[in-house]
Amino acid sequence: MSMKISIIGAGSSYTPELFERLAQMRSQLPVTDITLMDIDSYRLGAVKAFCERFARHLGMDVRIGSTTDLDEAVSGSTFVNTQIRVGGNACRVNDEKIPLSMGLLGQETTGAGGFMKALRTIPAMLKIADSIEKNAPDAWMINYTNPTGIVSQAIHDNTQIKCAALCYGGVRAADRAAAALGVDAKDVQYDIFGLNHCNFAYNFRVRGRALTEEELYKVAENVSEVAVDLTSRLKAVPSGYTQYYYHRQKKVEALFAQNKTRGETVLELEKEIYADFLNSSFDQKPPSLKKRGGGGYAAVALSVMDAIYNNRDTWHVINVPNNGVFRFLPDSAVMETAVLVNANGLKPITVSMPPPKAVWGLVSMVKNYEMLTAEAAVTGDRDTAVLALTHHPLICDYDLASELFGKMLEANRAYLPQFK
């Protein structure tokens, strides 16, 4: 019996992580064919060359194909893994620098940077969804393309495909609590409320026992991105990305002080990574790849695929439509929350207690921005785009939003045909 998965955006330096995890889970996921697809033939060729050597090193018995044709890649797939970056890291640099030039946060997924990335990315993701509907209608899209929450909103609003939009951040709270308390992460349970890169884990238990105030403070101390006293007062463990909301001025000043943006650093690093991929002496992950950082998503992605393929009831944090879980938000609002995953799909888990009141407003405001952004990306309506930026909590100024959108639209014009 054959089983094919396709990786769209396979020229990403994160692709080898998927191969490594697939090798570890070959008994659960008997993959026979992997098709790598990317529009960048150089990166695609480099990654394929390395992954062929890496697969042999890992003892994988799998056929590896590559193509620049989306329909060919998707056809016959059981799972379609999406990890695209429209415009590459060159566009990321603009996303970082243009807002900073106006005294605003310049970051890959949060604020104006994430906004522009969403506008570039959503049309391409809808094209992939259309290909799935035509060429592999029973397939699941496993998405970790950022900004995954807004991308997922657009997918759910505009298509009928089966989509699991993931991020490692949703399960990081268990790791942090486990490290702080000296327990196994598998023994940590919690409720989670919010959005991708704006979520809050709360109501922590260890083997069913609620944490004491002292234990919760220990967990708070393990969240380095946000002030310990704030985390303790919230009685929730926030996503590391909430540092951009709770410590906005400090973060903007720190970004101003850097000689290079993160995007510029990654652009330089990628030259080394892809040269190593093409170096036939490497059949294991080269040291340059470790410098890239990030990652971790493969473990989450493969666990979700395992749960679906083998009908294995599994708890995960995934971006799904709210559908009444949090009653003060629309049912159609895509949330990052706990779900039960099995062959029947993704079922949001009703929370055992409401989230802390202190975080309702921030999440609601960011969700309002996200829904407007998803709409603007599809329609190409400039008024909706400016409204989205205006209502982002890191901007909240119509004049700034209007000027910022004009500058960022000009810099991204080649990637935004919908805004004619």
Convert the pLDDT of each residue in 44-64 to its tens digit: 999 999 999 999 999 999 999
**Contact between residue 194 and residue 239 where contact means Cβ atoms under 8 Å apart:** yes
CA distance readout (Å), 318 to 122, 132, 336, 402: 18, 20, 5, 33
Domain ranges, residue 91: 4-165
Which parts of the chain register pLDDT below 70?
294-295
**Contact between residue 125 and residue 145 where contact means Cβ atoms under 8 Å apart:** yes
Tell me how far apart the alpha carbons of residues 233 and 247 are, in angstroms, rounded to a whole number: 15
**Contact between residue 174 and residue 185 where contact means Cβ atoms under 8 Å apart:** yes
**Contact between residue 196 and residue 155 where contact means Cβ atoms under 8 Å apart:** no
Domain assignment present for residue 252? The answer is no
CA quadruple 300, 208, 336, 243: dihedral sign: negative
Domain assignment present for residue 50? The answer is yes
- In 3-state terms the chain splits into helix, strand, coil percentages (rounded to 5) of 50, 15, 30
pTM assigned to the model: 0.96
**Contact between residue 165 and residue 152 where contact means Cβ atoms under 8 Å apart:** yes
Domain assignment present for residue 98? The answer is yes
**Could you tell me the CATH number of the domain that includes residue 54?**
3.40.50.720
Domain assignment present for residue 60? The answer is yes
Range list of H helices, 25-168:
41-58, 70-74, 88-101, 112-135, 148-158
Tell me how far apart the alpha carbons of residues 268 and 263 are, in angstroms, rounded to a whole number: 9
Convert the pLDDT of each residue in 93-147 to its tens digit: 999 999 999 999 999 999 999 999 999 999 999 999 999 999 999 999 999 999 9
Domain assignment present for residue 142? The answer is yes
Domain assignment present for residue 419? The answer is no
Tokens 């973060």 correspond to what residue? 251
Tell me what pLDDT residue 124 has: 98
Q: Which residues have a catalytic role annotated?
A: 241
Q: What are phi and psi of 160, to 5 degrees?
A: -115, 10
Output 274-282 pairs: Cβ under 8 A, ≥24 positions apart.
274/13, 274/42, 274/43, 274/46, 276/50, 277/46, 277/47, 277/49, 277/50, 278/45, 278/46, 278/49, 278/50, 280/49, 280/53, 282/50, 282/53
Domains of the chain: total = 1
Domain assignment present for residue 67? The answer is yes
Tell me how far apart the alpha carbons of residues 146 and 394 are, in angstroms, rounded to a whole number: 19
**Contact between residue 116 and residue 412 where contact means Cβ atoms under 8 Å apart:** yes
Tell me how far apart the alpha carbons of residues 167 and 192 are, in angstroms, rounded to a whole number: 13
**Could you tell me which residues are beta bridge partners of residue 387?**
none
Tell me how far apart the alpha carbons of residues 271 and 277 are, in angstroms, rounded to a whole number: 10
